């Protein structure tokens, strides 16, 4: 359990900018907590990398966050959660929360029996969502599908364009035809495209945004006895800080301060 009622920051780790959707929801849910966001922009994306490489990178990032005094760590990247969460939980003395388990729990609560999951190639290949959902309820049918172009569309600022709607149609129609009643946004970039995705799947399919459900999990852990006062957020990136600043501005709809380039 984290130290309750203390002002130590919460660490949020992602391969790049996608985890900012999780950052945003945690900041909303816990407006008095300070956050340290670490984006491994030098080595992004993780979605096409092997599990061994992802574990190595995640441990390096975690070590850096621990040195910054974080009281808990959120792995705000589905690919890193799928590949590295057990290794992180084993090695770190602070609590580590991933985005897959909260998403799976929300999906099981929402579904009538058939869940679709869209994610990166790495996450789909890991079957992390299928395993997590079936562990909670073996009767739920899960269909996982990779939607890699969504990341590029979100980062290009094209989330609400005609191209994005067309791409969403191509990725999502097989899931709709298969009769899913719930769709998990299994990559932290995808909430940026939520409005477009909702238009394609219609209002009969419930959307599970793992950023929201992860923030709720963090709040449940920290409780009402978290930090009080004005939060101070820091952003650490391993490369390309100007690009990060631009995309973070779009993702958070606000200018970011305290951006630092780090190396490890």
Which tokens sit at 61? Answer: 């990032």
**Beta carbon nearer to a second copy, 141 or 239:** 239
Provide the mask over 53-82, with x wherever binding to a second copy is found by CB under 8 A and - wherever it is not.
x-----------------------------
Is residue 41 within the footprint of a second copy (CB under 8 A)?
Answer: yes
Q: Is there a contact between 33 and 231 (Cβ–Cβ < 8 Å)?
A: yes
Annotated active-site residue 77? The verdict is yes
- Among 50, 63, 112, 160, contact with a second copy (rule: CB under 8 A): 50
Residues 214-243 that bind a second copy (CB under 8 A): 239-240, 243
Given the structure tokens 């191209």, which residue do they identify? 163
Q: Between the CA of residue 146 and those of 48, 126, 134, what are the distances in Å? A: 11, 12, 19
Per CB under 8 A, which region of 133-141, 150-158, 193-201, 222-230 contacts a second copy? 150-158
Question: How far apart are alpha carbons 230 and 32 in whole angstroms?
Answer: 6
Q: Does 127 bind a second copy (CB under 8 A)?
A: no
Is 41 a catalytic site residue? no
Strands (DSSP E) found in the chain: 10-14, 35-39, 72-75, 96-97, 114-119, 141-146, 182-185, 206-209, 234-237, 259-261
What is the binding site for a second copy (CB under 8 A)?
41-44, 48-50, 53, 121, 148-149, 151-153, 155-156, 158, 162-163, 166-167, 170, 239-240, 243
Cite the active site residues. Answer: 77, 187
């Amino acid at each position: 359990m984290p130290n309750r009622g203390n002002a130590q920051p919460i660490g949020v780790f992602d391969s790049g900018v996608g985890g900012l959707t999780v950052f945003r929801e945690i900041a909303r849910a816990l407006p008095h907590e300070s956050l340290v966001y670490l984006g491994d922009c030098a080595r992004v994306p993780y979605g096409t990398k092997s599990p061994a490489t992802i574990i190595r990178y995640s441990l390096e990032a975690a070590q850096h966050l621990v040195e910054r005094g974080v009281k808990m760590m959120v792995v705000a990247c589905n690919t890193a959660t799928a590949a590295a969460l057990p290794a992180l939980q084993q090695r770190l003395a602070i609590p580590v929360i991933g985005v897959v388990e909260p998403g799976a729990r929300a999906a099981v609560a929402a579904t009538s029996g058939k869940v679709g999951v869209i994610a990166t190639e790495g996450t789909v290949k890991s079957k992390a969502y299928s395993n997590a959902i079936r562990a909670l309820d073996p009767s739920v049918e899960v269909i996982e599908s990779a939607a890699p172009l969504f990341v590029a569309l979100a980062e290009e600022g094209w989330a609400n364009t005609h191209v994005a709607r067309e791409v969403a149609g191509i990725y999502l129609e097989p899931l709709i035809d298969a009769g899913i009643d719930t769709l998990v946004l299994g990559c932290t970039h995808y909430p940026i495209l939520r409005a477009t995705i909702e238009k394609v799947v219609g209002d009969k399919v419930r959307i599970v945004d793992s950023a929201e459900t992860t923030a709720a999990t963090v709040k449940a852990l920290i409780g009402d006895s978290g930090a009080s006062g004005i939060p101070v957020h820091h952003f650490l990136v391993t490369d390309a800080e100007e690009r990060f600043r631009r995309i973070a501005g779009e993702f958070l709809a606000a200018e970011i301060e305290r951006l630092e380039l780090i190396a490890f």
